[in-house]
Amino acid sequence: MSQSYETYKPKLSPTWWLKSRNYFLFMMRELSSVFIAAFVILFLYQLFALAEGKEAYAACRDELTTPGFVVFYAVAFVFALYHTITWLGVMGRVQVVRMGAFTVPPKLVTAGAFVGFFFVSAVVGYIFLYVL
């Protein structure tokens, strides 16, 4: 004889992530991707204007340097940094580096990732400030 049972479906309140600091930070980490994607789309728009020519680019720059957009960029910058910290911060645990019998200490892998971040940022900064 077969019997059917009702499946247990846990109820989830839409505000569960506000109930603990860790849940909140988890949601902020997830949300960071939305700001990063929005920045990327604006960046593509800016490149599109650049391809259109000098006047189109100037108009685009005028638009993107208005206070509203600057506030957006500032918020996106904070979220992007939070993404960097959370993403690279777990690098040692995510990526175990082994060389023969030797395992590189996870903390060193994480530290290496952050060194890489500062190095890449410095190179990009150097290009913007001194090469162009």
Partner 1 sequence: MSYKQDKTEPFWWGLFSAGGVVAAMLIPVLIYFVGLAEPLGLVGAEVSGYEAMSKLLSHPLVKVVFFVVAVLPLYHAAHRIRFMLHEFGVRKLILPIHYFCYGGAIVGTGLAAYILFYLF
Binding test (CB under 8 A) with partner 1, winner from 18, 25, 44, 108: 44
Q: Are 73 and 28 in contact (CB under 8 A)?
A: no
Q: Write down the least CB distance from residue 113 to partner 1, Å.
A: 8
Q: How near is the Cβ of 98 to partner 1 at its closest, in Å?
A: 20
Confirm or reject binding of residue 54 to partner 1 (CB under 8 A): yes
Indicate which single residue of 18, 25, 59, 74 sits in contact with partner 1 (rule: CB under 8 A).
Answer: 74
Exactly one of 18, 25, 59, 81 binds partner 1 (CB under 8 A); that residue is 81
Position among 83, 92, 109, 110 found at the interface with partner 1 (CB under 8 A): 83
Chain mean position to CA 78: 9
Contacts (Cβ under 8 Å, ≥6 apart) of 16: 23
In 3-state terms, the chain is what percent helix, strand and coil (to 5)?
Answer: 75, 5, 20
Q: Considering only residues 91-130, where is the footprint of partner 1 by CB under 8 A?
A: 116-117, 120-121, 124-125, 127-129
- Picking from 57, 38, 41, 37, the residue whose alpha carbon sits closest to that of residue 49 is 57
Q: How far is CA 125 from the centre of its chain?
A: 19
Residue closer to partner 1 (CB basis): 25 or 34: 34
Dist. CA 130–CA 132, nearest whole Å: 6
Selection from 26, 10, 5 nearest residue 82 by Cα: 26
**Which residues here bind partner 1, judged by CB under 8 A?**
12-14, 17, 27, 30-31, 33-34, 36-37, 39-44, 46-48, 50-52, 54, 57-58, 61, 64-65, 69-70, 72-74, 76-77, 80-81, 83-84, 87-88, 116-117, 120-121, 124-125, 127-129, 132
